[in-house]
A and B are shown apart, each in its own frame.
Chain A
Amino acid sequence: MKRMFALLALVAISYAPSLAQGVTIEDVGIFSGSLQSDVQSYTEDTTIGAPEVPERILSNTFVNVLFNRGKLTLGFRFESYQNPLLGIDPRFGTTGAGTGIGIPFRFVNYVDDYFEVTAGNFYEQFGSGMVMRTYEERNLGFDNSIDGLRLRFMPVQGMKITGFIGRQRAFFELSEGIMRGADLNLDLKEISETFLPDDVYANFGASVVSRYQADQNPFLNLPENVLAWSTRANITVADVMLEGEYAYKINDPSATNGGTFNSGNALYVNASYASSGLGISAAMKRIDNMDFRSDRTATGFAQQVNFLPALTKQHTWRLITLYPYATQPTGEFGAQADVTYTIPKGSFLGEDETTISLNASVIHALDTTRTDAFHYDANFMWDDRIFFQDINIEIVRKFGKNFKITSSYINIKYDQDVIEGRAAINETKYGVLTADFAEVELWFKSGKGTALRTEFQWMGVSYQEGVERDAVNNGDWVMVLAEYSISPAWFFSLFSELNYNRTDPVKDPVTGEVTRVDAENIIYPSASVAYVKNALRVQVGYGRIRGGILCVGGICRPVPASNGLSLNVSYTF
């Protein structure tokens, strides 16, 4: 029980960076917190499609303050958007008082041995999150915390019951729908050590989440109470782990599912094996109409209640991030396999370790047929159409303590029409593009506390015959990066992307036929300097940043191109 209490206490305080920091006031408690401020200037740049920003300068600021004494934790977050940075939803600047300033997150939390109470805002996740996951990803302008009451009850060790009721944050307002939910989680090993053999662990869980939103539509009979449920299991036997979750949602016609009255469901299965030096995992996921929001009219990132993880590797190399995959909540069938092997020291490859990672994934469309204006039939198996495919290999090789090489090759197929939502259903407009990506990263320690890291990236892109291409981001790319750090205080970074082999469309005035002609190369330079002193970090930079899609943790949003200076300050106390 003590262990569980410690765990829960950890969850309760995880809103703040750490309780190790903070200001202790004798006989009162501990205050701690953090500050993050991002300021960016914008210059219109028609070559890259950077729009004119009337404000010239935009900024986002977040300040967390937390107070803890024993079992009690209080906290709030101050947010200021003057106005929201481009790519962040502008409603952070227009809702509520309309000033972009407010305290949209505040809570009181009390944790005891057998129960926990939270009043105010909280983040919660049931299972893998397929019916319920609330979290903050401020760099994407995403925060779907619930404001209300949450109770947790731990009657015996290994058993946890959670229930909540409240409304979801909607920028500086609360969402129209009322959310209620409950979850049961059982850890058999914790309930009884003797119940399972020594190297067997088993977790089971079940959740229900429901939304109430009044039907005020004069044309349609809309469901006012929409229920979603899920059930899950996670079993580990020695080095092998098997986990699965199934979720179901009753009819929920919404802005994001084309108003269908079909029910929704999702299935996720993952098997993995891990031993020293070798890791293997294979997973499949089928999603049909599982976009769940606290407001049926919400689109984009607004008011998402659940989280459908992308079953593809999230690449971080800058060039390939131009084509990230985002889960299609209306329907997809995906599979992924991943193998990581570390060739130990002293093998035929010499004195140092070499790690090889192989990863492949493919996401297909669901095989569906419309039956009437409000319904469709979906087969369990997939359709031939591929939304996304990725085959990649990464090799990391160390040479002593002072030199490391990381090299990768990635090949993706990317259906721009579906992933970027740029065409009619089943229309081939931008088509499926193929990108071949290769990189070499060299890291070496050049002296005491100094290190140089360089990256060389290339990406070649090929298109289907006769399709349209993005007006700016088309053609091939190279990129060079150099980062020099003098720890613990200084970081210097320089990089430049070059977009070449670009083309522009030209329409023949007589025949109306569209052909493509060569267009100018575009260079995207960036530079930044960061200074760190204890918990303070200040970074200034300049960048001509290409437009594209920014993804964090499997959710993505379009970000327009920009050209300007940036200032980022962060501090924790």
Chain B
Amino acid sequence: MKTFAFVLLSAVMVMAMSCDVIDNPIENPDVPIDTTTKVKQNVLLEDYTGHTCGNCPDAADVAHQLETLYGSDRVIIVAVHAGPFATPQPPTYPTDFRTTVGNELDNTFKISRAGNPNGLVNRVTRNGKFIQSKDNWAPAVTAELAKTPTMGLKLDHTWNATTKAIDVTVTADYIAGGTEDYYVVVWLTESGIISDQTDYRYDPSHIEDYDFEHVLRASLNGTWGEQLSTTPVAAGQKITKQMSYTFPSGSTWNPSKCDLVAFVHRYGTEKNVVQVIKKKLAE
């Protein structure tokens, strides 16, 4: 019995010593500079947000910080406006940023029900968490970027400024073998949209000229995209898919602020994004 008490008391003492008081909170991130041209693993950071979500601009800044640190070609942000915080609230928040695709994603992944801001990082489950809160974005993105890529992606497109039509060709280069659950999706995003946003970091928190970046506008091929191959694909093979899209009539989207985001994900199984790339729509 005495041994028992001794063990417990020792445990208390050990714990009392195990605390980390931090004097200097800021760490300068050590980013290895990789100048090789080989294919790298990129990250799709889906930021689920809404214009009346007062904590969301802070999360958007975390995403932007990661994009700046690692490069916008490697950290690809898409802002998905969906859920109660994205509902237009005239007269103060009149803009409707919601999309059919965004609503379906939000309903499937149940993100706004879990609260906003929240996000998905390459749609991977990390430490038991699929939905990642903003404080998890940095560690999750860093971990994903360090992975060895299993696929390279190439996106070619033409843009007709008169008809507002886009033709896209996506080539998936299988570095490792793939399964039939690989689906390719191409999204259209727009940045530089000025409208109303709640931001709890400011007083008043109603920001009338907030700059909305990376807003998901549409999918060129549905919410879940299209299957790359109905049979498993061996390493070294390439598969090409083509798709077309025309801006909705009367759309005010600014093509010079639009990006095309192409990614391959494992639909209906592991969910994770295999690879992602981004390209400007028009100069």
- A residues with a Cβ closer than 8 A to B are 51, 54, 83, 86, 89-91, 93-95, 114-115, 151, 153, 155, 161, 163, 170, 173-176, 180-182, 208, 210, 212, 216-227, 229, 250-251, 253-255, 261, 296-300, 374, 421-427, 429, 471, 505-507, 514, 560
Give the Cβ gap from A226 to chain B, nearest Cβ, in Å.
7
B138 contacts across to A, CB distance below 8 A: 216-219
Bound complex: CA of A429 vs CA of B21, how far in Å? 37
B54 beta carbon closer than 8 Å to chain A: yes
Q: Which of A86, A94, A115, A426 contacts B131 (CB 8 A)?
A: A94
Q: A253 → chain B, closest Cβ, in Å?
A: 7
Asked if B29 is an interface residue, CB under 8 A from chain A, the answer is yes
- B206 / chain A contacts, CB cutoff of 8 Å: 429
Q: In the assembly, what is the distance between CA of A153 and CA of B11, in Å?
A: 14
The answer to whether A514 touches B27 (Cβ under 8 A) is no
**8 residue pairs A–B, Cβ–Cβ below 8 Å:** A91-B110, A95-B130, A182-B8, A296-B135, A297-B134, A423-B54, A424-B200, A507-B92
A interface footprint on B16-50 (CB within 8 Å = 1, 0 otherwise): 10111110111101110000000000000000000
Query: Of the candidates B30, B84, B128, which one forms a contact with A170 in the assembled complex, judged by CB atoms under 8 Å apart?
Result: B128
What residue in chain A is nearest B90 (Cβ atoms)? A507
A498–B44 Cα gap in the complex (Å)?
48
B11 contact set on A, CB distance < 8 A: 163, 180, 182
The answer to whether A505 and B115 touch across the interface, beta carbons within 8 angstroms, is no
Closest-CB distance, B93 to chain A (whole angstroms): 11
Partner of A427, one of B114, B128, B142, B205: B205
* A219: chain B residues within 8 A (beta carbon): 26-27, 29, 65, 138
A181 lies within 8 A of B113 (CB): no
Contacts of B69 in A (CB 8 A): 218
Instruction: Establish whether residues B110 and A94, one from each chain, have CB atoms under 8 Å apart when the complex forms.
Output: yes
Given known pairs A155-B5, A218-B27, A223-B21, the reply for A94 and B130 (CB within 8 Å) is yes
Distance between Cα atoms of A425 and B202 in the complex (Å): 8
Contacts of A114 in B (CB 8 A): 1
How far is the CB of B140 from the nearest CB of chain A, in Å? 8
- Interface magnitude class on chain B: 35 or more
Assess whether A210 is in contact with B18, with CB atoms less than 8 Å apart: yes
| Interface check B203, CB cutoff 8 A | yes
Contact of A424 among B110, B127, B203 (CB under 8 A): B203
Do A505 and B92 touch across chains, with their CB atoms under 8 A apart? yes
CB of B250 closer than 8 Å to a CB of A:
no
Is the CB–CB distance between B109 and A221 below 8 Å? no
Residues from 188 to 225 in B contacting A, C-beta threshold 8 Å = 199-206
Min CB distance A176 to B, Å, is 4
Q: CA separation between A250 and B202, bound complex, in Å?
A: 28
**Among candidates B24, B115, B200, residue contacting A299 with C-beta atoms closer than 8 Å:** B115
Q: Is the CB of A427 within 8 A of B12?
A: no
- B147 close to chain A: CB less than 8 A: no
Determine whether the beta carbon of B205 is less than 8 Å from that of A261.
no
Knowing A153-B8, A163-B12, A182-B12, the reply to whether A218 touches B19 (Cβ < 8 A) is no
Q: Name the prevailing secondary structure of the A interface residues.
A: loop
Please state if B5 and A222 are interface contacts (CB–CB under 8 Å).
Answer: no
Q: Are B205 and A218 in contact (CB under 8 A)?
A: no
Asked if B128 and A173 make an inter-chain contact with CB atoms under 8 angstroms apart, the answer reads: yes
A interface footprint on B110-130 (CB within 8 Å = 1, 0 otherwise): 100111000000000001111
What is the minimal beta-carbon distance from B13 to any residue of chain A, in angstroms? 9
Contact between A181 and B20 (Cβ–Cβ < 8 Å)?
Answer: no
Chain B proximity of A406: nearest CB distance (Å): 37
Interface membership of B91, Cβ < 8 A: yes
- Please tell me if the beta carbons of B205 and A255 are within 8 angstroms of each other in the complex: no
What distance in Å separates the Cβ of B70 from its nearest Cβ neighbour in chain A? 9
* Complex: chain A residue closest to B109, CB-CB: A94
- Which residues on the B side are within 8 Å of A170 (C-beta)? 128-129
Chain A min CB distance to B45 (Å):
14
B136 adjacent to chain A (CB < 8 Å)? yes
Are A506 and B91 interface neighbours, CB within 8 A?
yes
Do the beta carbons of B22 and A223 come within 8 Å of each other? yes
Q: Can you add 15 more A-B contacts, CB < 8 Å, to A296-B135, A427-B203?
A: A54-B107, A86-B113, A115-B1, A176-B127, A182-B8, A182-B12, A182-B15, A217-B135, A218-B31, A220-B25, A225-B18, A225-B20, A261-B22, A300-B115, A425-B203
Name the contact of B26 in the complex, choosing from A93, A163, A220, A506 (C-beta under 8 A). A220
* B29 & A297 in contact (Cβ 8 Å cutoff): no
B235 within 8 A of A: no
Bound complex: CA A506 to CA B139 (Å): 45
Q: Are B135 and A297 in contact (CB under 8 A)?
A: yes
Q: Which residues of chain B come closer than 8 Å to A181, judged between CB atoms?
A: 15
What is the CA–CA distance of A429 and B29 in the complex, to the nearest angstrom? Answer: 38
Q: Residues of B contacting A212 with CB < 8 Å?
A: 18
Is the Cβ of B18 less than 8 Å from the Cβ of A471? no
Is A560's CB under 8 angstroms from B84's CB?
A: yes
Complex formed: what's the CA distance from A277 to B245 in Å? Answer: 79
Given contacts A210-B18, A300-B115, A423-B200, contact A217 B139 (CB under 8 A): yes
Q: Is the CB of B16 within 8 A of A424?
A: no
